[in-house]
Structure 1
Amino acid sequence: MAVGLGPLSTLHPVPGFELGIASAGIKRPGRKDVVVMRCAEGSSVAGVFTLNAFCAAPVILAKKRVSGSVRYLLTNTGNANAGTGEPGLQNAMRTCASLASLAGVDESEVLPFSTGVIGEPLPVEKIEGALQAALDNLSENNWADAATGIMTTDTLPKGASRQFTHEGVTVTVTGISKGAGMIKPNMATMLGYIATDAKVAQGVLQDLLRDAANKSFNRITIDGDTSTNDCCMLIATGKAALPEITQASGALFAALKQAVFEVCMEVAQAIVRDGEGATKFVTVQVNGGATHQECLDVGYAVAHSPLIKTALFASDPNWGRILAAVGRAGVAQLDVSKIDVFLGDVCIASKGCRAASYTEEQGAAVMAEEEITIRIELGRGTCSETIWTTDLSHEYVKINAEYRT
């Protein structure tokens, strides 16, 4: 059951960006598993991608094409087209060429995206058979259906939308994402698509997406596994009647940046809330680091620890596991006598040992909650970082043990 994640809120249409959904039946007959997105001519497109060396064929192709003219994005679920070598790349190119032919554009203007089982050949004929239906379904109002169409082990669709007004003109930012397992983005199995009708130069858009991803998608982890297929795309259609943003400054850019950051954060956290088998939404906050990197090292050591994650599932305030994770995070010359650890507002460890005021009942009360904050004060400097993660439940093991059955 997703933690604190309910039905989708209103997803405002973005002028100049259309979405169409169809069924190819890749894993199940009738399943809506192909999504086509059309960008208005002249749109700017930016992307951040997985750093996994075994990146999927569609990632290889999308990375090559993203800086050029982009008119269509093609996503399939049920098959990752990863670990498929040269045949996989040829299959990705073929699906793009088929869509380009139907749409009347050059095949270089189509970006492919895939998610699902790794190592199996892409069912090209099934995808090709669904393309015309997806094109016929194109609409600016199809964000919610597309959010469902890109799901794999997700239990709920994920999306967010923001609007702001600049000089009397309304600007929209809307995004969707998918992901519930194999989640530790490093880009920058998750996919994210965000669009705005602002007009933004491609270089500015790329920097904006990279910064937004680093504070959202690159700060979430469910199981510490960076997928072969992670991608996040930001599209600016330029349909809003405002001047083009050509530099990262000014009131319009600041308002757009805030909206993009908020959408990225909401859909990224939704991935964690819907983590496979998750019963807890956990914030790991590390303060007082000498560098941001050592804060991240400590945060991920805690967030990835199976001992901590299983204790969270059991609502067991076994704080010694947190201390052990902090101690092995690899921070040079770490003075444990300066470290304080909190569960929520409860200080469980101070100056490297159990806090004098702490009681087991206090810790148990915090751990029984669905949303938990673990706060670590390193006492070394002024840097801080925050990571969001989940517990590790029986259901997570079951879902992944049975993933291909």
Structure 2
Amino acid sequence: MKNDLTPEAVSVPGFKACALFCGIKKENKDLTLITCEKGAVAAAVFTTNLSKAAPVIVSQENMKQPLVHAVVINSGNANACNGQRGLDDAKRTTVKTGELLGVDPSSVIVSSTGVIGVPLPIEKLESGIEKAIPMLKSDGLVEAAEGIMTTDTFRKLSAKSVALPESGVTVQIVGFSKGSGMIHPNMATMLGVTLTDANIEKEVFQTLQKESTDVTFNMISVDGDTSTNDMSLALSSCEAGNPPLKPGTKDYEVFKEAFIDLQKTLAKLIAKDGEGASKLIQVKINGARTEKDARLLARSVTTSSLVKAAIFGRDANWGRVLCAMGYAGGMFNPDLVDLYFESEFGSIQLMEKGAGLIFDEDKALKILESDTIDIVAQLGEGEASAEAWGCDLTYEYVKINGEYRS
């Protein structure tokens, strides 16, 4: 699921970006800057964690502005739980960026990711922003995707060209995100940015971003921890030349499908790259009474430590799946459930109409050798469905997080 898109393949008209090392981390790029000279229409969703990081608080306020001119993201330090100093540092970042670009600081979005409770080395960040300005380029989004990484083992990046059938205009959509641990979004992803040049109004864009989040980033889990810094930001330069996208039109529906599909790709890449993970788990709930029920059931299975451990151990312990569904809060009748484990090595039914089946253990073991495992539950109660993504729980996850600050 990794992709290695070239810089030329991921540019979006109206945007420039770059990333560099400014000394917040011990090594590797740790500062990303994205700009839109004319200003971008913006939509965003933020963490519901009450312990919000300072950049989340500042950016939520700045999102009230009609246009965004710049986004500054640092990795290696979350600037969370730092009291008034954290807020002051987040605001200083917007002021410094605004001064250098000649724009209002309130049109600058800031975001941070990394260790919680450590003061942000603001002087290093400000110096880095000064160095970044002349480095900005239209094909800098590949760098940007690298600059936001922390414990990620690869960059999460996706790009699409979408032909709008009514206007005849082709628009670009590029997205990148980061996330490997502390992944259990309840609004958005850990950090994610989606850029487009499609002409779209702010209110319509915000509605689309929320709808997409509900079925993409909000349907992944690595470890059940909702971050203090979660943010998923969407920006449009509106330079494509199409009439403003309106719900109910063919152009909007085509764009919406592509936009959601791109963010779903990013969400799955995050789940695939869970800290220490060796397997991607895809949970598919079909035949539910309502979509809400299906989402609750699917997400509960991806969150279950027992399910995750079983998949790591290649143990077809399907009872753990039914247990996780049972406490999910979604309504279903266990006596109607058909349950399957599937991968590229085949499919095996483990449960029929609420009762366990005698199955071939060797076949199940072979299926679970894959690095992508589908857990499929047919509920037989309605037409609603949902899909969620997670990863297995390995010894390496404990090792990574036991040594996170060292």
Bin for the TM-score computed over the shorter chain: over 0.9
**Correspondences of 1:131-210 after superposition (within 5 Å):** 131-166=129-164, 167-188=167-188, 190-210=190-210
Q: Any idea what the Cα deviations from partners look like across 1:131-166, whole Å, max 9, x if unmatched?
A: 111111111101111111110000111111100233
Query: What secondary structure sits across from 1:224 in the alignment?
Result: coil
* 1: CA distance, partners of 2:110 / 2:293: 36
Query: How far apart are residue 84 of structure 1 and its match?
Result: 1.4
Q: Which secondary structure state, in structure 1, belongs to the residue aligned with residue 374 of structure 2?
A: strand
The AA in structure 1 aligned to 2:186 is N
**Aligned: 1:229 with 2:229:** yes
* Deviation digits for residues 313-335 of structure 1 (CA, Å, limit 9, x no counterpart): 11111222222222333445x53
AA partner of residue 194 (structure 1):
T
Does structure 2 conserve the Cα–Cα contact (< 8 Å) formed by 1:195 and 1:234?
yes
Q: Secondary structure at the match of 1:43?
A: strand
Deviates more, 1:341-350 or 1:359-368: 359-368
Q: 1:349 aligns to what?
A: 351
Please tell me the residue identity of whatever aligns with 1:342. Y
Assess if the C-alpha contact under 8 Å between 1:36 and 1:73 holds in 2.
yes
What amino acid does structure 2 have at the position aligned with 1:350? E
Post-superposition CA distance 1:239-290 (Å, at most 9, x none)? 1122222x21312212221221121111111111111111111110112222
TM-score by length of 1: 0.94
* TM-fit CA distance, 1:349: 1.1
Q: CA RMSD in A?
A: 1.6
Paired residues in the alignment total 398
Are the structure 2 counterparts of residues 194 and 49 from structure 1 closer, same or farther at C-alpha, using a change threshold of 3 Å?
same
Contact kept, 8 Å, 2:283 with 2:298, in 1: the verdict is yes
TM-score, length-normalised on structure 2?
0.94
Q: Which residue of 2 is the match for residue 122 of structure 1?
A: 120
User: C-alpha separation between the residues in 2 aligned to 1:369 and 1:238?
Assistant: 42
Whether 2:282 is the aligned partner of 1:283: answer: yes
Query: Which residue number in structure 2 is paired with residue 215 of structure 1?
Result: 215
Aligned to 2:85: 87
**CA 1:289 to 1:9, structure 2 compared with 1: closer, same or farther past 3 Å?**
farther
Percent identity, please: 39
Match of 1:67 among 64, 67, 71: 64
Q: Which amino acid aligns with 1:388?
A: W
Residues 314 and 259 of structure 1: is their aligned pair in 2 closer, same or farther, counting only changes over 3 Å?
same
* SS across alignment from 1:41: strand
Structure 1 equivalent of residue 313 of structure 2: 314
| Structure 1 equivalent of residue 385 of structure 2 | 384
The 1:90/1:270 distance shift into structure 2, 3 A limit, reads same
Q: Aligned partners of 1:32 and 1:59: how far apart in 2? A: 21
Q: 1:322 to 1:242 in 2, by over 3 A?
A: closer
- SS of the aligned residue for 2:10 comes to coil
Q: Taking structure 1 as reference, are residues 12 and 362 closer, same or farther at Cα in structure 2, changes over 3 Å only?
A: same
2: distance between equivalents of 1:370 and 1:328? Answer: 27
What is the Cα deviation at residue 188 of structure 1?
4.2
**Alpha-carbon offset, residue 183 of structure 1:** 0.8
Are the aligned partners of 1:289 and 1:378 in contact in 2 as well (CA < 8 Å)? yes
Residue 38 of structure 2 corresponds to residue 41 of structure 1: yes
- What's the offset of the Cα at 1:168? 4.3
- Structure 1 residues 258 and 337, CA, compared in 2 at 3 Å: closer, same or farther? closer
Q: Secondary structure at the match of 2:30?
A: strand
In structure 1, stretches of 5+ residues that fail to align are: none
Gapped runs of 5+ residues in structure 2? none
| Distance in 1 between residues matched to 2:132 and 2:187, nearest whole Å | 29
Distance 2:274 2:349 in 1: 28
Q: Give the counterpart letter for 2:149 in structure 1.
A: M
Task: Tell me if structure 1 keeps the 8 A contact 2:20–2:128.
Answer: yes
Q: Indicate if the aligned counterparts of 2:43 and 2:206 stay in contact, CA closer than 8 A.
A: yes
| Superposed displacement of residue 338, structure 1 | 1.2
